[in-house]
A = this chain, B = another copy of it.
């Protein structure tokens, strides 16, 4: 029924629909009880993260399909677990929607979410639906695990470490900006691919001193690492692995591809601080995804700097996406 609304099927009809799409979770008890009952691996610590996506802030229906919205909501949470060196296991999802919402929109979101979940071994084990007069809001909880001595925090960067990033930067920001500017040749939308396997293997081999996933943008996220680790850093502008889409879009918009790569945000690549002798091993772990050295960790007094092509260094003033 293309015109079926949430008010037609009700809260419990919606929960049944979600449970049907989610299929059987690997949880001991999943959707439909007061809490999900999760079987976690013995001898590991539990990792938990939550990320809220608000329509009009984090996604727009005009240029993302329902499946892409759901897939992205799960992928960005899996990315947080990847950045700890952990294995994602279970998701819970909270949805707030207007009673007038088309049921097919929610079906699509859950379908996208479940399909990314299957790819990464994550079961949808529970959640919650509610009405709102505000924008569609999706809050995804992700529960994972890791061996305690393999967890990688933001706080372990040491002066002398190489700063490296996986993949290429700026593509998702380029997509967003070109759609907002209504460019004719916008890049294709891509659901972020969380770097679970790379994060896990770097963690298991104790190669990463500190790790974070790039959500705010490299410039903002390196500052989070520096703050947590009590260090400074320098990034080399000429070393940045800028995505082709970022170059094309920046040129069409008359803006800077470097800025897109530094501050566009939503890359969901991993930033890793590691000892220089381990860079080659880490590169082979990253494989086709690629791993690029983009900077160095400095002592705390040095601040956070950007070195331009001519060798001049300036404080890295660029900031990531601001919520408030």
Contact = CB atoms under 8 A, between A and B. Distances in A.
Given A141-B92, A324-B11, A35 B54 contact: no
B213 A34 contact: yes
A115 to B, nearest CB: 21
Contact of A324 (B9, B35, B45, B139): B9
A148 B92 CA distance: 20
* Number of identical monomers bound together in the oligomeric complex: 2
Nearest to A29: B153
A7 interface: yes
A48 B54 contact: no
A42 B42 contact: yes
Contacts of A213: 34
A104 B133 CA distance: 24
A253 interface: no
A91 to B, nearest CB: 10
Interface in A124-169: 125-135, 137, 139, 141-144, 146, 148, 151, 153-155
A183 interface: no
A276 interface: no
A140 to B, nearest CB: 9
A47 B83 CA distance: 24
Interface of A: 5-7, 9-11, 14, 28-29, 32-40, 42-43, 45-54, 56-58, 79-81, 83-84, 86, 90, 92-96, 99, 125-135, 137, 139, 141-144, 146, 148, 151, 153-155, 211-213, 228, 322-324
8 contacts: A11-B322, A29-B153, A34-B80, A35-B48, A35-B142, A52-B128, A99-B324, A134-B135
